[in-house]
Structures are given as structure tokens and as C-alpha cells.
Amino acid sequence: MLAMNLIRCCLSLARRSPSHFLNLSTTQTLVSPSSSRFKLITFQTMVSRAYTTPSHPSGKLLFRQLFEKDSSTYTYLLADVSHPDKPALLIDPVDKTAERDLSLVKELGLKLIYAMNTHVHADHITGTGLIKTKVPAVKSVISEASKSKADLLIQAGDKIYFGDLFLEVRSTPGHTLGCVTYVTGDGPDQPQPRMAFTGDALLIRGCGRTDFQIFTLPKDTLIYPAHDYKGFTVSTVGEEMLYNPRLTRDEETFRNIVENLSLPYPKMIDLAVPANIVCGLQDLSAKPVEAISN
């Protein structure tokens, strides 16, 4: 499979070393998950029908990369399969493929606890609201800086635990003011190499539609963007530092590139942004479907 080959390639290419591009602060305030803010949460990993990636070598992390073709959006499923509850989370779910994602969660025997967004998307409607109508116990997650609605509003430095694994929240504004990157934890009991879910801030050989920040993670950190339009599925920090045609330029050249892209008006923006600001919930009168995850 393409994704498996890419991951093997990235694992063999990369070496740990600091870089100058991903600026990710790590404060350690802890807040209860029952409040509107929090620092501790739990998650797991899994693979999609469109792109299949293996479970992580650590044996704890189950990972799946899923694809929505209309907006070329990647959704990521992670789970701690070593934990008795097999807690799981979804990153950047899409409304059109929410049923597929929930079916996969059920097939794999996972307990979905979080549906998370990296930012307020303009090219599709998030699946978090739809997922919550079908699995009411799931909590929606987005950054406080996004000025959007969600069950949990996160900030840079927060830790999102799923089982014994966790994601660190890194502030990476630029594409939007509220963009965050979710990075797998650093420690002897956490999966290595680390994985960064960058949303639209950093794409493979590209970036989102405005300037941004992303590169102080180890070079072997695996990059999983929210979108790809050329068939790529994964990269590394080291690869993007060498080969990203926008980010290997000086600041003035980068600004000129971004300001002269002549991109069309996003066809979904007038529907997607208003819906995503309220967690994708559009028809609150719709009757919830019975939860498929306990």
C-alpha cells in the first residue's frame, strides 16, 4: 500500500534533530475534562479504507488514515489498544464520511471519546456535530483561539490523553488564527517516532493559504496533514525542510508566493465556516441515532 511504503521510507530517512520551523510551546496546567477547558485527555490510532497504515510499532497505538475525496481531506483515527477501554479519537472528521468513521470504530472494538478539529475548516463541514448526535458521549474539541463552539476548548500546552497515550497541543496560527497541531507525546512510554497532525498549517510540499509557523520538532517526526491533492499521505519534518517549495524560501519570497497564488474562492466556504463555528451542528431537531460505541 502507498501509505505503508511512505511510512517505511520516512522511518528510514529521518534522524532526530531540532529544526527551526515548528514552534510548539508546552505549558503544563491541568484542568478537569468536565470543564470548558482542559489539559488532560485520552486517544487511540487506526487506519482508513482508502489508505491503510499499520498499527504503530509500539504495540499501543492503533492508527488509521482515512480520506474524503470531495475536499481531499484526511481524517485520523487513533486509539490506545493496550488500555482495557480502547479509548479512541478522531482528528478532522468530515460530515460526509462520519458514518464510515463510526463503522470503523465499531468494527475495531474501540470507544470513541473525542472528535477533534485542527481549525475551523472552510472547504468542508466538520463531522463532529453529526458524530455527537450518534454517539452522545463523544466530546468535541477545538482551540479556544478559533472562537468556535465545542465541548472542550484547548490551548497550547494542553495534553489530550487517550488511555496511557497523549497528544500535545501546539499553537500553529497562520492559515487561521486558531490553527493547532496535535503531536504525539514524548517519553519512553509514548510511540516513536513522533507524529504531528498539522491540519492546513503544513501540507506535504506545501502549506495552507496564508503564512504560518511549524518546525522545531525532531526531523523524523511524521507529518500528517489535513489535506493532500497529489496522492501523498505522509511526510516528515526533515523532508519538508528540504523539499517544501514554499517553506525552503526566505520570508520575502514566501510572502510573494502566498500573495500571488490566485486561488479561487473556496466553493464550500459560505456553508462550511458558519457550520463549523458551531461544531458542524446544523439541524438540532434531527433525531439522534443510537450510539454505536459504548
Q: What is the secondary structure of 119-156 as a DSSP string?
A: S--SSS-BSHHHHHHHSTTPEEEEEGGGT---SEEE-T
Distance CA(134)–CA(33), nearest Å, equals 21
264 preceded by a cis bond (ω within 30 of 0):
no
Per-residue pLDDT of the chain (294 residues; tens, 9 = 90+): 433 443 344 433 333 333 333 333 333 333 334 344 443 433 333 333 333 344 565 689 999 999 988 888 899 999 999 999 999 999 999 989 999 999 999 999 999 999 999 978 777 788 899 999 999 999 999 999 988 899 999 999 999 999 999 999 999 887 677 899 999 999 999 999 999 999 888 888 877 754 334 677 889 999 998 878 788 999 998 998 899 887 777 778 877 876 776 766 666 666 776 776 666 665 544 443 333 332
DSSP code at position 97:
G
d(CA 197, CA 90): 11
Residue 148's φ and ψ, nearest 5 degrees, are -115, 175
What is the rounded distance in angstroms from the CA atom of residue 39 to the CA atom of residue 11?
A: 30
- What does R_g of the chain's alpha carbons equal in angstroms? 18
Q: Is 4 helix (H, G, I), strand (E, B) or coil?
A: helix
pTM over 0.95: no
Closest CA to 203 of 41, 107, 73, 51: 73
